[in-house]
Structure 1
Amino acid sequence: MFRFEKVTNEQITRIECPGTEKHYKITRPAGFPNSAPANIRNGCERHSVMIEAFLPLLEEIRNFEVLEDDVWVITFPKCGTTWTQEMVWLLNNNLNFERAKKISLEERFPFLELTGALTLIGGDSVGHVRSQPRPRHIKSHLPAMLLPDQVWTVKPKIVYVSRNTKDAATSFYHHYRNIVGYDGSKEHFFDAFLSDNLIYAPFSGHVADYWQLRDEENMLFITYEQMKHDLRKVIEKVSSFLGKSYSEQEIEVLENHLSVESMRANDSCNMQTLVEWARNTNYSEERKNNESNKFRFIRSGDVGSYRNDMSPDFVHRFNEYEKCITNDCGWKLGL
C-alpha cells in the first residue's frame, strides 16, 4: 500500500529541529484507491514528506471512519487554516459566538494528525478526533493521497484553502522558528521548501490534487487572497456550501469577528497555549532567554508580506516554482 524511505540530504539536515525530526518520503504507488474521483485517479504514484512520528498514524488514518456530517478544513500549513476554521465552525453552529469564546478552537476543530506532525507533542490526536460529538469539525494538512479511504465514498464536506507560494513559505518559516524550534537561516528554509524537503511537501502536489477536486460536490476550493480581498463574499460562499443561510447583518457581525485584529485578540483562536508549549519545549536555551521574542501565531495576515523576508533572488525562484504548478495543473495564484 505505501512505501517508506528515510530522507537524508543537505536541505533536510539544515532544517531538522526539535519539533520535526527524521523525515520520511511516503509513497503511494497507485496514487489513490479505486473509489477516488477519476480525474485524480490516473495511476500515477503520489508521495509526501512526513516525519517519523507520523508513521504509526498512517494506517490508522487510512482506515479512519469518516462520517457523512463531518466537516473538514484542509490546507498546506500556513495558508489560512485558523482563519477558515473559525469561520466554518461558526457558520455550521448558528453563529454561536458565546460557545466559541468559551471553548478553544483546538477543541472545537481538532487537528487530526497533530501527534504525527510535531515531535514531542504527545497524546492521541486521531483518537481525540474520533471521539468528537457530531457533527465533527476536523482540521488537517494532509495531502489528498494520505486522507482516509472513506473520504472518497462517504464524501464529507471539505473546504480546501490555498495561498500564494511566497507568502505560504514565509509564514511557514516563522512557524518553524517559533513553534517547531528552527534556529537556521531563512535562506536554508526557503531552499528546503523549493526542493520539496519540508513536512507535507511537495507544496505543488498538495495544491494540484485538491485543485483537480474543486468541482466535486463535497469540495470547496477557496484562497487566502479571496478572503483578504472580499471576506464577505467568501463567507456567503462557504455558508451556501454548508447549507446555511444568514442575514446581511449576521454576516457583517461574523466578518468583523474574523478580522485579523479580532482573531489575534481572541484567546479562543490565537493559539497562545501552543506558542507557550513550543517556547518551553522546542526552543534552545538562548531562544528561551531572548525577551525580544514576541511571536504571535496569528501574525501579519497580509498578502505580499513575503517582501519583508525574501530576497529578489528567492522571489524569482519562487515565481519559477509557481509557474511549474500553473503549467502542470492550471491552478492560478491569487484571486
Structure 2
Amino acid sequence: MDLLVIEKPDDEILKKVETFCIEDLVKMSLKDDPSKFCIMPQKFVDQDRERIKNMEIFEDDVWVVTYPKCGTTWTQEMIWMLNNNLDYETASKIVLEQRYPFLEVSSILKGYPTDKVEICKNLTRPRHIKSHLPYFLLPDQLWTVKPKIIYVVRNPKDTALSWYYHHKHLHDYTGTKEELIAAFVKDLMFYSPMNDHVLDFWKIRNAPNILFLYYEDMKRNLDQEVKKAMKFLNKNYSQDEIDKLCIHLSFNSIRNNPNVNKDNAIVKYMEFFGKKYDQSNGFSFIRKGKVGSYKKELAAEQNLMLEKYADCSRLKDSEFEYKFG
C-alpha cells in the first residue's frame, strides 16, 4: 500500500529553482500526516523511493545524513578516517565518493551515469553511506537494525547561501538569490523542509546509535568534535594521531584534496551535458567553509526571512536552536 501522496505544488517559485539536471520537482507527503513532506524530483519517486525504503540494512553500516550544504563532505571524510584506522594511504588513492557514496544521487541528478543505490547495496562491509533524505524517506530497517548514524546540522542562513552558490555553479541555476531564498523559506527547495529534516533527528539525538553534530561546533573546535565521533565509533587514537587528522580535515586541506573536493567528478558530469564547470571566479564544490558568511552576503530582507524561518514555533516547542556563530 502506498503511504505517500505525490503532488505538484502550485507555486511559480518551484519552477524557478528547477534546472537542466534538477527537474520536475514534486511534493511527497505522508497520507496519515500531510504536514510531513519532502520536495524531490519525480525521478526519485519513480526510480528509487521503493528500493531505498526496502533496502537491507546492516548493524555495522555507518551513515552520514544531513540536509544539503551542512558540512556533509567534511563529515564523511572525518568519519571514514576514524572508522578505518586513519588509513591515509587508501584515502589518498580512492575518492571519497567511492569510499562513502551518495545513496540517492542517481535519482536526483538527471542523466547520472551510475546506479548508486545498487552500488551502496553491494559495498564491502562495513558500508559507509551518505544521504540527504529526511527521516521518513530513509530505509525502514534503519530504525529497527539501528546502525550508527551521524547527523550534522548547520544554521539556515549559511545553509541557504551555500545552496544558492551550489545550485548556481553546479546545477546551472539562472534565477536570483532572492528567488532561491524565497523557495527555501517556503519549503520548496528540493530536500526541503529543512526545519522538519533537522527536528526529526533532534528528537532521536539521545539514541545510542545517533551522533548529532553542529557544523558550527566543528568549525569552532574540530579536535573536540573529532573526539566525540571517535568515542561514538568506539575507536581510540592518541592526541598526536588526532592532531594529524585535524590537519588532514582542515579547510584548505579538504578544499585542495582531489580525492575529497569532487571537482573532477563535477567537471565530467557537466561535460556530459555540454556544460562548463566555471571555476574562474574561485568557486569550487567546497567553497568557503565559514560560519557567518551570511552577515556580508545577505540583504536585510533575506536575512529577516531566514530569521523568521529559524524561529518557527515547531523549533521553539522542541527546544532546538540553530547556532549562528
Task: Name the TM-score class by shorter chain.
Answer: over 0.9
Q: Distance in 2 between matches of 1:129 and 1:278?
A: 20
Q: Distance in 1 between matches of 2:277 and 2:256?
A: 25
Within the alignment, does 1:331 sit opposite 2:320 as a pair? yes
Q: Distance in 2 between matches of 1:188 and 1:24?
A: 18
The one-letter code of the counterpart of 1:239 is M
Q: Distance in 1 between matches of 2:166 and 2:40?
A: 16
Within the alignment, does 1:312 sit opposite 2:300 as a pair? yes
For 1:86, the equivalent position in structure 2 comes to 77
Q: Distance in 1 between matches of 2:40 and 2:277?
A: 31
Q: Is the 8 A contact 2:258 2:264 kept in 1?
A: no
Q: Distance in 2 between matches of 1:120 and 1:268?
A: 23
SS of 1:102 mapped into structure 2: coil
Task: State the superposition RMSD in angstroms.
Answer: 1.7
Q: Distance in 2 between matches of 1:20 and 1:104?
A: 24
The one-letter code of the counterpart of 1:321 is Y
Within the alignment, does 1:70 sit opposite 2:61 as a pair? yes
For 1:34, the equivalent position in structure 2 comes to none
For 1:41, the equivalent position in structure 2 comes to none
For 1:24, the equivalent position in structure 2 comes to 26
Q: 1:250 to 1:290 in 2, by over 3 A?
A: closer
Q: Distance in 2 between matches of 1:289 and 1:256?
A: 28
1:212-258: per-residue Cα shift (whole Å, max 9, x none)? 11011110100100000110000000000001010000000000100
Equivalent residues in 2 for 1:272-291 (5 A)?
A: 272-281=263-272, 288=276
Higher mean C-alpha deviation, range 176-185 or range 274-283: 274-283
SS of 2:126 mapped into structure 1: coil
Q: Distance in 2 between matches of 1:57 and 1:95?
A: 33
Shift of 1:138: 0.3
Q: Is the 8 A contact 2:26 2:42 kept in 1?
A: yes
Q: Distance in 1 between matches of 2:274 and 2:206?
A: 43
For 1:227, the equivalent position in structure 2 comes to 218
For 2:157, the equivalent position in structure 1 comes to 166
1:241 to 204, 207, 232: 232
Equivalent residues in 2 for 1:3-42 (5 A)?
A: 3-30=5-32
Within the alignment, does 1:47 sit opposite 2:49 as a pair? no
Q: Distance in 2 between matches of 1:27 and 1:160?
A: 22
1:142-189: per-residue Cα shift (whole Å, max 9, x none)? 000101000111000000000000000111111101111101111111
TM-score (normalised: structure 2): 0.94
Q: Is the 8 A contact 2:64 2:131 kept in 1?
A: yes
SS of 1:50 mapped into structure 2: strand
Shift of 1:59: 0.6
Equivalent residues in 2 for 1:255-274 (5 A)?
A: 255-274=246-265
Q: Distance in 2 between matches of 1:170 and 1:277?
A: 25
Higher mean C-alpha deviation, range 266-275 or range 104-113: 266-275
Q: Is the 8 A contact 1:169 1:190 kept in 2?
A: yes
Higher mean C-alpha deviation, range 144-153 or range 3-12: 3-12
2:137 to 128, 138, 146: 146
Q: Distance in 2 between matches of 1:235 and 1:85?
A: 12
Number of residue pairs matched?
Answer: 320
Q: Is the 8 A contact 1:181 1:278 kept in 2?
A: no
Shift of 1:309: 2.5
Q: Distance in 1 between matches of 2:217 and 2:62?
A: 21
Shift of 1:45: 5.2
Q: Distance in 2 between matches of 1:234 and 1:225?
A: 10
Q: Is the 8 A contact 1:17 1:182 kept in 2?
A: yes
Within the alignment, does 1:119 sit opposite 2:119 as a pair? no
SS of 2:202 mapped into structure 1: helix
Within the alignment, does 1:186 sit opposite 2:177 as a pair? yes
Q: Is the 8 A contact 2:169 2:278 kept in 1?
A: no
